[in-house]
Amino acid sequence: MDHTNHVRLGASELTPDLLEGATIYGADDNKVGKLDHVHGSTAIIDVGGFLGIGAKPVAVPLIDLEFMRDEDGDVHAVTNWTKDQLKEMPEHHH
């Protein structure tokens, strides 16, 4: 997916209601997970799994994610992390 024409979200739009459920694309532009929830300045991303089963929650700084809207207005994010790097992170426990 080419993200160059996607509209970056402004700081005022970075609310949990808007961001939760966003698809996260990794460094190789593959889907790496979904944003489960925001915890302060940390994003909890569900990585791997299938249809939400077996996914592993990991915590990354929100600053590592660049949120934007695509042509349809759907919110998603791009990060420099790869899926393998995220899978190697310690599991986040609520």
Convert the pLDDT of each residue in 36-72 to its tens digit: 999 999 999 999 877 667 899 999 999 999 999 999 9
Coil, strand, or helix at residue 51?
coil
The secondary element (H helix, E strand) that includes residue 25 is strand 23-25
Q: What are the phi and psi torsion angles at 25 (to 5°)?
A: -105, 135
The answer to whether the predicted template modeling score (pTM) of the entire model surpasses 0.85 is: yes
Report the pLDDT value the prediction gives residue 52, as an integer from 0 to 100: 61
